[in-house]
A and B are shown apart, each in its own frame.
Chain A
Amino acid sequence: MEQLLAALFQLFEPTHLAFLFAGTLLGLIVGILPGMGGTSGLALVLPFVFTMEPSHALAMMIGVLAPTTTSDTFPAVLMGVPGTAGSQATVMDGFPLSKKGMAARALSAAFSASLLGGIFGAFILSISIYYAIPIIMAFGFGEQFLLVVLALLMVGALTGDNLFKGIASCFLGLIIGSIGTAPITGDPRYTFNTLYLLEGVPLVVVGLGLFAIPEIVGLLDAKGSIAKSLNTKKGWFTGLKDVVKNWFLVLRCSTLGCLVGALPGLGGTVVDWIAYSHLKQTTKDTSQFGKGDIRGVIAPESANNAKEGGALIPTLIFGIPGSGNKVLLLGGFVLIGIEPGLDMVTTNLDLTYLMIWSLAIANILGAGICMGFSSQISKFTLVPYYILAPVMVCLIFFATFNINRDWYDFIGLLSFGILGITFKNFGWSRPALLIGFFLSSKVELLSYQTQAVYGLSFLSRPVSIILIILCLATIVLLTKQKFDNNYRSDLIKGKLTQIYYIVILLCLPLSMIWFTSSLDYRANLFPISLSVIALSLLVFILIIKIADLKNLSFLNNTFMKFARSNIFEISGNFNNQLFYYLSFIGFLLMNFIFGFPIAAALFINMFILFHNRKAYVSSICISAVLMLILWSLSSLLTLQFPNGLIGLLIDLPWWLGGQMN
């Protein structure tokens, strides 16, 4: 009770609200930019968060996280492009509605459904926290180990287009996560005697590289401005009425979203489709679906925002992320010194409640802003991407440098950037890689801990059996639904590149085995077992791909058809994306020579002028505004700019990249 009150007081402190509001605004913007979601948004915020007070940092992070699934409806409805992975199903009916001139109705229905879902999620979360202590006490090492493994399997099976590629992505993530000091013996693994890799690759670098960079080059590749025209004037009231009329649907889908969200690892990417298919199954007249049925917007939107509350349950009490963006939230917890687990429901209960209520308030704020300023906000979708992209790149570089003030982080960022671009283009799962990476050390430790305490007997404990059944059932149900689609292999070009790509991927497990084989068995058992599994999966995928390419006959049985589905990906213009990626390397070199402030101003102007010679006024203005923002940020938070070679030769002032002090 005392903690409840303490949390309430803190919630309404002006500074707390201010940070929450700032986070919410940022989250709204991130949600509107197609493809950028909570994961990229949090990765951008994280490097700055750890200079703040823990409660302010928390407010900021929750603020960023909460409204992305609300504002992602703008691109989904207006452009037919999902703003985040969670609004794919919204496109199905939202875009047709907007083509019929009912964009406002679709948006207002979506926002209010999203709002109700979000609040419902926060409500369920606050109740389940109350019952969490017995659950935490029932989950020993064995149960936690199973929970993590099941989370990984589910993510692998469900976030990729192809089951085997999804699981292989997971294992590659686990292998990357095992880089660094071996937890049992303290041996350095795969570190090449560098201090940089001793603690593993920084999470934010992985997050930004895997998610933000591929989306930026992908959208640059798609070219042009984002939306063509806007018609969001009339029909707001109709949308609200639609939601009120379908209140029971909102309730059902919110419950569904909460439940699916609470399954560790599953989170974002499937919940909207589950809600959509639930809607289809429970409706008599399905003729309008896909052509602009308002219920097709309400169902996924209420579910995908309710899932945020549900996904926080495993995140807070077990430290197992419920979805990709929760990985970064957990990374933020580490930075501000919050450890998930029993403390969250006992000594740190006030922080937990603060989070839940911040979530609810951020949802209300987010939905309110979306409705109140919809026509202004939707103009964001009109900004040409060649203007947004260089700004985003500068922000990403600035954020990256402030993780550790280490130039190696840029190399990490660009390496994971190219990994992310290829993963996206060739149909491998980035969320699975990220979650595998994050959970790697946990899997390793839990396997040792389980072995030390229980041996194999943990499998026969009641909670374990329930977990195994739950997982198998989910995977069977969901894969059945997911892989029912028809796959046209003959339409795909560039299959050879995708085959060669596997050969490159093979290098990771092979080199891991090579470099760790001489270590103590307690240091290399884990990475080598992972590598062997990853190798077999990759070779299997390679065989299927070659067989698919040559159209060999052994593919014609049920299992092989299943394994073959979506084995190739219809990629975008890969060469084009590579070109943009190279320009980022150019930017890094400019940083190295001139230091960040000069390089950023140069890069923004060059990039915009390259795309549009006449836009020099806007390019100069944009670079000036960005630098003003970054300068005030740095003096506020004592951040530093990367200083280049010039800065070493001449004594530059700090705002041009010179040394502080």
Chain B
Amino acid sequence: MSLFSFVSIGSADVNFAGKTVTWVVPFKEGGGTSRFARFIQPFLKKYLPGNPDVQIMHIPGGGAIKGSNYFEKNAKADGTFIFGCSTSVIVNVATGNPLVKYNLSEYRPVVLLPQNTHWFTRSDLAEPHDLSKIKERKLVLYALKTPASADLFHIWIYEKLGIKGAKPIPGLSSSGGYQAFLRGEIHLSSHGAANYVKKVKPEIEKGKVVDLMTLGIIGADGSVSRNPLAPNAPTFPEMYEKVNGKKLEGDDLEAYYAIGAAWSQASKAMMLPADASDEIVKAYRDAAIKMTNDPEFKAKAVKALGPFPLIIGEEAGEIIKKAAVFSDTTKNQLNAALKKHKFTYRVQ
């Protein structure tokens, strides 16, 4: 691969005319990352120099590791290969999965699509935006897909908020978990923004469900603002301060930033291989900026991608590094939470 990068550094004019760009998505068709790629695909063709064909190649399997490893091994650095990344791809790296062979933190991100998580409970269990009744309960059940996924962060979040009765029910997808929540079998539930609007908002309007908090939107300077979809709900740092009587800082803040980067800011991403030249990265970023100004994109983006603006540019690279490389203190915090709930799985 290094050979290719030498060649491409020499050519200042990037032109993809007549070429085909292969977008490797390490998930199956129909998933969130696939939908993200499909939405961007026509705009990419329209705005990349030379209007190349963009084909999406799905390589699912091995918890997204198979397709990611495939990309690492086969991607050319000349801009004809791009990678569809998501939280699970990042978590595989951040948690030190031994099967990972891709060097994600060095990849060159073009576009990040942020997401946000909403927490809520049944109206008979708590007042809106108030955890005090929940904290009194002996048993607070919540859904957890597997501890080796991003759901791991739930364990940490509940731990830091001092919900002593919190007990994960394993093997529940977010939609299966939400069903069990509606049936009254589990007490706390969470959803991403899209499903929050579609499924949870109607229940809140009926008075059956109340908002608790959101993860919060992390800005480039590290400030945290409220989620516009639930402007009255406190963010996690606010809730942390209310519960613990002190500001979120130190190791806890560091862990929050790492989790926020992986879970929220880099929820979906489009990346170039690590050895892609600056010219190629710039050509892609320019195309992405033109895309966000396209009237058709503006008209459809909120419905297809959610309300949070795309992150483009150098800032994106910082976020990916933060998300993919957890510091030892953050790892220790996560492992302590895992250990407390008797999971054998450990972040490496």
Contact A341 B185 (CB under 8 A): no
A190 at interface by CB-CB < 8 Å: no
Residues 135-185 (chain B) with a chain A CB within 8 angstroms: 141, 146-148, 167, 169-173, 175-176, 179-180, 182-183, 185
Known: A347-B199, A453-B185. A199 touches B62 (CB 8 A): yes
Residues of B within 8 A of A293 (CB): none
Q: Among A54, A405, A520, A638, point to the contact of B30 (Cβ < 8 A).
A: A54
B5 is an interface residue with CB less than 8 A from chain A: no
Q: Does B130 contact A (CB under 8 A)?
A: no
Q: A50-B58, A347-B198, A453-B185 are in contact. Are A448 and B30 (CB under 8 A)?
A: no
User: A412 CA to B173 CA in the complex, in Å?
Assistant: 28
Cβ distance B108 to chain A, nearest Cβ, rounded Å? 21
In the bound assembly, the distance between CA atoms of A341 and B58 in angstroms comes to 26
- The answer on a CB contact under 8 Å between A195 and B29 is no
In chain A, positions 418-445 with a C-beta closer than 8 Å to chain B are 441, 444-445
A324 to B179, CA, bound (A): 26
Contact string against B for A residues 228-251, beta-carbon threshold 8 Å, 1 for contact and 0 otherwise: 000000000000000000000000
Instruction: Please name the residue on chain B nearest to A445 by beta carbon.
Output: B171
- Known: A137-B183, A335-B28, A339-B176. Contact between A185 and B22, CB under 8 A? no
- A143 vs chain B, min Cβ distance (A): 10
| Separation of A21 and B245 alpha carbons in the complex (Å) | 65
Interface contact B170-A184, CB-CB below 8 Å: yes
B345 in contact (CB, < 8 A): yes
Instruction: Check: B50 CB closer than 8 A to any chain A CB.
Output: no
Q: Does B20 contact A (CB under 8 A)?
A: yes
Q: Is the CB of A339 within 8 A of B28?
A: no
Contact B141 A453 (CB under 8 A): yes
In the complex, number of A-B residue pairs with CB atoms less than 8 Å apart: 103
Q: Which of B22, B186, B345 contacts A186 (CB 8 A)?
A: B345
B31 interface residue (CB < 8 Å to A): yes
Given the contacts A339-B176, A445-B171, A449-B169, A51 and B29 also touching, CB distance less than 8 Å: yes
Is A626 an interface residue, CB under 8 A from the partner?
no
Q: Is the pair B182, A449 in contact by a Cβ cutoff of 8 Å?
A: no
B187-225 interface code vs A (CB 8 A; 1 in, 0 out): 000000000001100000000000000000000000000
Please tell me if A529 contacts chain B, counting CB pairs below 8 Å: no
Contact of A520 among B29, B59, B344 (CB under 8 A): B344
A586 on interface, CB distance cutoff 8 Å? no
Complex Cα spacing A406 to B61, Å: 11
Known contacts A136-B179, A341-B175, A336 near B62 by CB under 8 Å:
no
Query: Which residues does chain A contribute within 8 Å of B198, judged by CB atoms?
Result: 347
Decide: A183 and B171 in contact? CB cutoff 8 A: yes
With an 8 Å Cβ cutoff, the count of chain A residues facing the other chain is: 42
Given the complex of chains A and B, what is the CA–CA distance between A287 and B28 in angstroms?
Answer: 57
Q: Residue of B at shortest CB range from A441?
A: B171
1/0 per residue, CB under 8 A from B, across A307-340: the answer is 0000000000000000000000000001111110
A136: nearest chain-B partner, CB-CB = B179
Whole-angstrom distance between the Cβ of B20 and the nearest chain A Cβ:
7
> Considering the chains assembled together, what is the distance between the CA atoms of A51 and B38 in angstroms?
12
* Cα of A129 to Cα of B29 in the assembled complex, Å: 27
Chain B hits for A137, CB < 8 A: 182-183
**Contact A185/B29 with A141-B180, A341-B175, A661-B22 known, Cβ cut-off 8 Å:** no
> Quick check: A185 and B345 within 8 Å, CB to CB?
yes
CA A268 to CA B279, docked complex, whole Å: 61
Minimum C-beta distance from B119 to chain A (A): 20
Partner of B29, one of A140, A336, A405, A453: A336
Once A185-B344, A195-B65 are accepted as A-B contacts, the answer to whether A337 and B173 lie under 8 Å apart by CB is no
**Of all chain B residues, which has the CB nearest A638?**
B55
Chain B residue numbers with a CB within 8 Å of A444 are 171
Contact across chains for B62 and A198 when beta carbons are under 8 A apart: yes
Q: Which residues of A contact B344 (CB under 8 A)?
A: 185-187, 520, 522-523
- Which of A50, A199, A338, A341 is within 8 Å of B179, CB to CB? A341
Check if B173 sits within 8 Å of A339, measured CB to CB: yes
Question: With A and B bound together, what is the CA distance between A265 and B30 in angstroms?
Answer: 28
Question: Is B99 an interface residue when CB atoms closer than 8 A count as contact?
Answer: yes
A51 proximity list for chain B (CB < 8 A):
29, 58
Chain B's closest residue to A185 (CB) is B344
From B29, B167, B180, give the contact of A50 (CB < 8 A): B29
Judged by a CB distance under 8 angstroms, whether A452 is at the interface is: yes
Any B CB within 8 A of the CB of A404: yes
Within the complex, the shortest CB–CB distance from B151 to chain A, in Å, comes to: 11
Bound together, the chains give a CA A197 to CA B250 distance in angstroms of: 41
A335 engages B29 (CB within 8 Å):
yes
Q: Which residues of B contact A54 (CB under 8 A)?
A: 30
Shortest CB distance B214–A (Å): 22
Interface-central residue, B55, B169, B170, by most chain A CB under 10 Å: B170
A609 sits at the interface (CB 8 A): no
- The listed residue (B22, B30, B171, B175) touching A343 by CB distance below 8 A is B175
A456 → B minimal CB distance (Å): 16
- Chain B residues, Cβ within 8 Å of A334: 28
Q: In the complex, what residues of B have CB within 8 A of residue A533's CB?
A: none
Q: Are B185 and A50 in contact (CB under 8 A)?
A: no
- Say if the beta carbon of B231 comes within 8 Å of chain A: no
**Please, how many angstroms separate the alpha-carbon atoms of A448 and B179 in the complex?**
17
Contact residue among B20, B55, B171 (Cβ-Cβ distance under 8 Å from A449): B171
Q: Nearest Cβ distance between residue B206 and chain A, in whole angstroms? A: 13
Contact B61 A140 (CB under 8 A): no
* Cβ–Cβ < 8 Å partners of B28 in chain A: 50, 334-335, 337
Contact B29–A342 (Cβ < 8 Å):
no
Task: Decide if B66 is an interface residue (CB 8 Å cutoff).
Answer: yes
Instruction: Judge whether A661 and B20 touch: CB under 8 Å.
Output: yes
- Given A137-B182, A140-B183, A341-B176, also A198-B63 (CB < 8 A): yes
- Taking a contact as CB atoms under 8 Å apart, the answer to whether A452 and B141 are in contact is yes
A186 touches B30 (CB 8 A): no
The answer on a CB contact under 8 Å between A448 and B175 is no
Beyond A136-B179, A140-B180, A140-B183, whether A195 also contacts B62 by CB under 8 A is yes
B143 nearest in chain A by CB position? A449
Shortest Cβ gap from A237 to chain B (Å): 47
Interchain CB contact under 8 A, B30 and A50: yes
Residues on the B chain within 8 Å of A346, using CB: 199
Q: Chain B contacts of A347 at CB under 8 A?
A: 198-199
Q: Are A337 and B30 in contact (CB under 8 A)?
A: yes
Q: Is the CB of A337 within 8 A of B31?
A: yes
Interface residues of B in 54-104 (CB under 8 A from A): 55, 57-63, 65-66, 99
On whether the beta carbons of A183 and B141 are closer than 8 Å, the reply is no
Q: B170 contacts which of A183, A338, A405, A638 (Cβ < 8 Å)?
A: A183
B169: which of A136, A405, A452, A520 is its contact (CB, 8 Å)? A452
Q: Chain B residues near A50 (CB, 8 Å)?
A: 28-30, 58
A441 to chain B, nearest CB (A): 8
Contact between chains at A184 and B62 (CB < 8 Å): no
Residues in A whose Cβ lies below 8 Å from that of B58? 50-51
B84 to A: closest C-beta gap in Å: 15
User: Contact check: which of B30, B60, B62, B182 meets A342 at CB < 8 Å?
Assistant: B182
Q: How far is the CA of A256 from the CA of B221 in the complex (A)?
A: 67
Given the interface pairs A50-B29, A140-B183, A638-B55, the reply to whether A448 lies near B171 with Cβ below 8 Å is yes
- For the complex, give the distance between the alpha carbons of A199 and B31 in Å: 17
A186-B147, A335-B28 provided; 12 other pairs, C-beta below 8 A? Answer: A54-B30, A141-B185, A181-B146, A183-B170, A185-B343, A337-B29, A342-B175, A404-B59, A449-B170, A452-B167, A453-B185, A522-B344
25 CB < 8 A contacts A-B: A50-B29, A54-B30, A140-B183, A140-B185, A184-B146, A184-B170, A184-B171, A186-B146, A186-B147, A186-B345, A187-B344, A335-B28, A335-B29, A337-B30, A337-B31, A339-B173, A342-B179, A343-B175, A444-B171, A449-B169, A449-B170, A449-B180, A452-B141, A453-B169, A453-B186
